[in-house]
Chain A
Amino acid sequence: MSAATEPIVRADRVSKRFGALTAVDGVNFAVRRNEVTGIFGSNGAGKTTFFNLLTGYFVPDEGTIRYKGRDITHTPVRERVAMGMMRTFQLTSTFDNLSVVDNLVLAFYRAHRGHSLLRMLLSTCRRHRDEDKVMQALETFELGARRDMEVRHLSLGEKRRLEIAMSMLAEPEVLLLDEPLAGLAESEIRSVLDVLRRNSGSQTIVIVEHKISAVKDFVQRLVVMHEGRIIAEGGYDECMQHPEVRRSYWQIETDTVAEGRS
């Protein structure tokens, strides 16, 4: 396999058990460079657990995870981030006691200025608030008006945009988004997807989503999970036509039928 077609992230026969429950069961999975891959499934299908295995939140009981061909199954989170993997959280995860701009400064600083404690002690936040990349992120994610507001006062949609802005500031090679649209209003969903689309084509993205219809135009390849296993993968239509998917998710079946009719 040549370097160009070698998947950037690859999971081989990965399993994770919690007591008697096998949350992820021998999953094989690959993410190709610059492609948007969606992981889809109902609640409890194992998507988020699998996602946590990829990002190092959990260590799998079996199987290996590779990044650019290197085994990272036991690599700590911090090193994965340094290698270029960045994730967001299902429950938006920001620093509520800091201002919007300082949240961005922290994301920017680690990615572009390193992690020397002495330097962190000596450099002030103020100096980094006017960095081009930070200002650009404020503008792109329409957070300029909230710049100096403490994050605890933001709406959920704004927090989501901030969290995605933070992960993009780090300029990761692989961006892993855990249900970035959950709990958002239609207009907010559109604005989040617009921002993501601007970068698609040059950015590898893995997106876990519960509401597949929202992202069907965005994802290029889809993986459908059910009870810890991957039951289908391929293009959106291909997956939706898959008999096992139709059997497991009657909900989609009715959705697609309805869409076909209209």
Chain B
Amino acid sequence: MTAALRWWGGPIVAFSLLALMRLVLPLAFVIEVLIFSIYTIGCSFLLGRVGFISFGQPAYLAIGAYGTGFYLYYFGANPLIGLAVGVAAGAVAAGIVGPLFVRLRSDYFALVNLALAVIVFYLMQKVLADITKGDNGLWFLTNIASTPLIDIARPEGFFFFALLAGLAVWALYKYIDGSVFGACCLAVKANDDKLRFLGYSSFSIRLLAFVIANTTTALAGAMYAVYLGFVSPEITSPARAADPVVVTILGGTGSLYGPIVGTLAYTGMKDAISKLVGNWELFIGFLLVFIMLAGEKGIWGTLQPLMQNALTRARARWRRDR
């Protein structure tokens, strides 16, 4: 019982804090943070745990979003089925390109994913314009039917759903971190050859990690589609290709809560700075340079050990005082 409580403690505290933010911050901001965190955790897992840097995450985000978008525009009205279609589309796409991509070295992997993002962008913008309506995008906000229990067709209901989805995703990644598979992912990153010579298939481990990460990314895309009620090729714009990588590094690569902290910082700064000056990207650029020079640990990577120390010290003091 206490073990279960301890295990769930971290994710529950994190998402309770995000829920509390709703009291002081606009709903749209908190929802954006929730979805973007889910978007980033796949990238953070690939980069920090498996050693793959991908500049093509918008491709999988778009595949999820369009999967959901096509369903809600052409076929049905249930947003939950829409989400399931988007996630399934992401898993299938990752399962198709994965066997080709995960054989590549990390630098080629980064570029081949970027190429995929460009391909998806032009497919959605030009080639499939008949069904995607090109740059105008697909609008289906009014098509979305309300759902029982939590009505995710309404922003308040969607917020609650996004909190639960985030909690589930974090629990999943926390479990993976502690699993034998998670250790294998780190092993792939450190020493691929050795893993092979222990008798593991590093190819299957990379492939499964790739599919898990990009299915999560597709979930974020599907959530954007349901929340915004529309999708356009803008979602996979190559100009935004580095966003999740930037947020991953900002938060602390490969750490469990780095993506949330990074997203908060990134989205917060974007909102705050863009109100004051036009070129907010410039500030993010300088900040990134600073973070890399300061030791590559990111915000969470720096804060977490400090907090851990403080906690241990506080505990020791409490024990002594008793």
Contacts and interface: CB of A to CB of B under 8 A. Distances in A.
Interface size class of B (residues with CB under 8 A): 20 to 34
B191 interface: yes
A78 B199 contact: yes
A120 B191 CA distance: 18
A109 to B, nearest CB: 5
Interface string A97-140: 11000100111011101010101111111101000000000000
A177 to B, nearest CB: 13
Interface in A45-96: 55, 77-78, 81-82, 86-87, 89, 93-96
A120 B184 contact: yes
B197 A120 contact: no
A95 B199 contact: no
- Interface core residue of A87, A110, A128 (most chain B CB under 10 Å): A110
B196 A78 contact: yes
27 contacts: A55-B197, A77-B196, A78-B200, A81-B197, A81-B198, A81-B199, A86-B198, A89-B193, A93-B194, A93-B197, A94-B194, A96-B191, A97-B186, A97-B190, A98-B186, A98-B190, A106-B195, A110-B198, A115-B199, A117-B208, A121-B181, A122-B179, A123-B179, A124-B175, A125-B182, A125-B183, A128-B180
Given A95-B186, A115-B201, A109 B194 contact: no
Given A95-B190, A121-B208, A77 B197 contact: yes
B213 to A, nearest CB: 13
Q: What's the dominant secondary structure at chain A's contact region?
A: helix
A110 B183 contact: no
A160 to B, nearest CB: 14
B181 A95 contact: no
A98 B187 CA distance: 7
A89 B201 CA distance: 18
Nearest to A115: B200
A109 B205 CA distance: 15
A105 B198 contact: no
B178 A124 contact: yes
B311 interface: no
B197 A86 contact: yes
Interface string A206-242: 0000000000000000000000000000000000000
Contacts of A78: 196, 199-201
A123 B180 CA distance: 6
A125 B178 contact: yes
Interface in B158-217: 175-176, 178-184, 186-187, 189-191, 193-201, 204-205, 208
Contacts of B195: 95, 106
A166 interface: yes
B95 to A, nearest CB: 13
A245 interface: no
Nearest to A111: B199
A109 B197 contact: no
A128 B195 CA distance: 18
Interface string B117-145: 00000000000000000000000000000
A58 to B, nearest CB: 13
A27 interface: no
A170 interface: yes
Contacts of B201: 78, 115
A93 B193 contact: yes
Contacts of A113: 180
A142 to B, nearest CB: 21
A168 to B, nearest CB: 12
Contacts of A89: 193-194, 197
A96 B179 contact: no
A95 B200 contact: no
Contacts of B186: 95, 97-98
B184 A106 contact: yes
Contacts of B189: 97
A121 B191 contact: no
Contacts of A87: 197
A114 B31 CA distance: 42
Contacts of B183: 98, 102, 105-106, 125
B135 to A, nearest CB: 41
B185 to A, nearest CB: 10
Contacts of A86: 197-198
B183 to A, nearest CB: 5
A124 B180 contact: yes
A70 to B, nearest CB: 17
B194 A95 contact: yes
Nearest to A81: B199
A166 B195 CA distance: 11
Contacts of A105: 180, 183
